[in-house]
Amino acid sequence: MNGRILIVEDDRSFGLMLQKWFERNGFSATLCSGMVSAQEVLSQSEPFQIVLSDLRLPDGDGIMLLSWLNEKRLAVPVIIMTGYGEVQTAVSAIKLGAFDFLEKPINPDILTKKIEAAFEVKQENIAPPEKPRPERKYNKETRVFVEGQSPLSLQMYTHIDLVAPTQMAVMIVGESGTGKEHVARLIHTRSNRSSGPFIAVDCGSLSIELAPSELFGHKKGSFTSAIEDKTGFFREAHGGTLFLDEVGNLPYGVQMQLLRTLQEKRVRPVGTSTDLDVDVRIITATNENLEKAIEEGNFREDLYHRLNEFMIRVPSLRECEEDIPSYADHFREEANRELGREVAVISPDALAVLKNYHWPGNLRELRNVIRRAVLFTRGSIITTDSLPLLTTRKEESFPKMDISLSVEPEEEKERILRALEQVKGNKTKAAVLLQIDRKTLYNKMHQYNIGL
């Protein structure tokens, strides 16, 4: 694989070693010793495919260089090299748009995989992580996962691996049915709290009257129906993880109590005057636009920032078409066990129908479709006759508009506005329509002063 790589490293001997390694492997590598010299090279030279930058530089750092690239709208994948114990800083780099990070001392095999993945992102305009992972399946009994291998899925798993060992509060965003609770469980199981409890709470089921009791506990007799002491979800999750699903549904009056608990790491059960210490990591999930809820006065901005120290986006199923066969096959095996059937395979024609469907209900809908197909199959193969009528096709829902560099700015702006109008402001769907990635869409909206 050929390509131009910029190495930004102040340790000259290490930088030269990297440069020689890249050249032996067929790359054209340029070495800079600091941030300013890298900026000059990036401004004057032909485009680089990848920037490999040390985190700590004599005249700045890799994050400052990353911010400068964003300001200059230079779309080049950046891999940040970090020393031991700098995971928190690597998280900051990922949030600013870094493609990935690489820990020193450098492992050549890992470096090769990350470079290959970065070249893919340059070609496909999306950001996969360094390598596929072995398939793991999920069900409630065994808590095993099927991990998608599409670029967006792999990017999500990279972010999970990055944030899981930290104590940061994570907000998981994605459409209904995409498996946000599964992602929360992954973060928990890959954290140092994995031996502790994982408590999942549906915030939509909490009424404003009972939410304080459910979350923080109560003392017997503190109100009419309090016939015994209640521990509360926070204390149940002590030493582990508390997952607040659809946190946007949390009653506004309870949000201040939640914020106080997160700040002080203490809870006060209803009917008592004593605070109790709690050691809980918070993970939240939502399919709502919480920033809009803040504008409308339905969600506290200070709580939002407290919960959103790191955001993970779960892609929709239609964005991960190449994952559909493995997910469908897993659901087939699951349905066989639950329904006592022995359906062995899904036919190519049936798979083609599944891959061409728009999947508004995402994984939850796919699971239901496969369960029904297994039930209706009168042999060992799921055919198109076993499938329900799937009429909403991706081509009908998303006619491609194809923004290209040759389009005049006014025309490009008009296409973006039309796309946003067509999908009622959903930026993920608009990006699919325009055949660009979501980050590029945000950059263009900022460029044309289109309200976010």
Express as a percent the part of the chain with pLDDT over 70: 83
The predicted pLDDT at position 401 comes to 55
Tell me, yes or no, whether 129 lies in a domain: no
Average pLDDT in the 211-216 region? 82
343 and 291 both lie in a single domain = no
- The count of residues in the chain is 452
Q: How confident is the model at residue 204 (pLDDT cuts 50, 70, 90)?
A: confident
Lowest mean pLDDT among 89-98, 168-177, 271-280, 356-365: 89-98
Name the average pLDDT for the chain.
81
266 φ/ψ angles, rounded to the nearest 5 degrees = -140, 150
Q: Are 238 and 223 in contact (CB under 8 A)?
A: no
Q: How confident is the model at residue 396 (pLDDT cuts 50, 70, 90)?
A: very low
Tell me, yes or no, whether 452 lies in a domain: no
308 and 343 both lie in a single domain = no
Tell me, yes or no, whether 20 lies in a domain: yes
Q: CATH code at 31?
A: 3.40.50.2300
**109-117, Cβ contacts within 8 angstroms, sequence gap of 24 or more:** 112/25, 114/79, 115/1, 115/5, 115/27, 115/50, 115/79, 116/1, 117/154
Q: What is the pLDDT of residues 1-26, one digit of tens each?
A: 568 899 999 888 888 888 888 888 88
220 and 333 both lie in a single domain = no
Q: What is the pLDDT of residues 32-89, one digit of tens each?
A: 988 888 888 888 767 888 899 888 888 877 778 888 887 777 878 888 887 755 666 6
Among the candidates 106, 124, 142, a domain finishes at 124
Q: Are 285 and 172 in contact (CB under 8 A)?
A: yes
Higher pLDDT: 112 or 402? It is 112
Tell me, yes or no, whether 29 lies in a domain: yes
The total domain count for the chain is 4
Q: CATH code at 404?
A: 1.10.10.60
Residue 137 has pLDDT above 50, yes or no: no
The predicted pLDDT at position 131 comes to 38
156 and 301 both lie in a single domain = yes
The predicted pLDDT at position 450 comes to 85
Residue 142 has pLDDT above 50, yes or no: no
The predicted pLDDT at position 87 comes to 61
203 and 259 both lie in a single domain = yes
Higher pLDDT: 171 or 412? It is 171
Write a three-state SS string for the chain: CCCEEEEECCCHHHHHHHHHHHHHCCCEEEEECCHHHHHHHHHHCCCCCEEEEECEECCEEHHHHHHHHHHCCCCCCEEEEECCCCHHHHHHHHHCCCCEEEECCCCHHHHHHHHHHHHHHHHHCCCCCCCCCCCCCCCCCCCCCCCCCCHHHHHHHHHHHHHCCCCCCEEEECCCCCCHHHHHHHHHHCCCCCCCCEEEEEHHHCCCCCHHHHHHCECCCCCCCCCCCECCHHHHCCCCEEEEECHHHCCHHHHHHHHHHHHHCEECCECCCCCEECCCEEEEEECCCHHHHHHCCCCCHHHHHHHCCEEEECCCHHHCHHHHHHHHHHHHHHHHHHHCCCCCEECHHHHHHHHHECCCCHHHHHHHHHHHHHHHCCCCEECHHHCCCCCCEHHHHCCCCCCCCCCCHHHHHHHHHHHHHHCCCCHHHHHHHHCCCHHHHHHHHHHCCCCC
The listed range with the strongest mean pLDDT (70-79, 282-291, 428-437) is 282-291
161 and 283 both lie in a single domain = yes
Rounded distance between C-alpha atoms, residue 118 and residue 109, angstroms: 14
Residue 135 has pLDDT above 60, yes or no: no
Q: Which two tokens stand for residue 179?
A: 């498996």
| CA distances to 2, 47, 129, 132, 201 from 113, in Å | 14, 22, 9, 10, 38
Q: CATH code at 165?
A: 3.40.50.300
Q: How confident is the model at residue 181 (pLDDT cuts 50, 70, 90)?
A: very high
Q: Which domain holds residue 333?
A: 320-394
286 and 238 both lie in a single domain = yes
Rounded distance between C-alpha atoms, residue 129 and residue 209, angstroms: 45
Tell me, yes or no, whether 46 lies in a domain: yes
Tell me, yes or no, whether 60 lies in a domain: yes
170 and 227 both lie in a single domain = yes
Tell me, yes or no, whether 11 lies in a domain: yes
Other beta carbons within 10 angstroms of residue 339's beta carbon come to 12
| CA distances to 26, 77, 171, 249, 267 from 253, in Å | 61, 44, 21, 11, 16
The predicted pLDDT at position 308 comes to 93
The predicted pLDDT at position 3 comes to 80
Rounded distance between C-alpha atoms, residue 280 and residue 239, angstroms: 6
CA 77 distance to own-chain centroid: 18
Rounded distance between C-alpha atoms, residue 335 and residue 449, angstroms: 50
57 and 103 both lie in a single domain = yes
Q: Are strands 4-8 and 56-57 parallel, antiparallel or unpaired?
A: unpaired
| CA distances to 239, 265, 279, 334 from 199, in Å | 11, 17, 13, 24
Q: CATH code at 365?
A: 1.10.8.60
Higher pLDDT: 230 or 353? It is 353
Among the candidates 283, 313, 343, a domain finishes at 313
The predicted pLDDT at position 335 comes to 92
34 and 79 both lie in a single domain = yes
Q: Are 247 and 285 in contact (CB under 8 A)?
A: yes
Tell me, yes or no, whether 130 lies in a domain: no
Q: What is the pLDDT of residues 255-286, one digit of tens each?
A: 988 999 899 998 888 777 778 888 999 999 99
The predicted pLDDT at position 217 comes to 78
119 and 156 both lie in a single domain = no
158 and 255 both lie in a single domain = yes
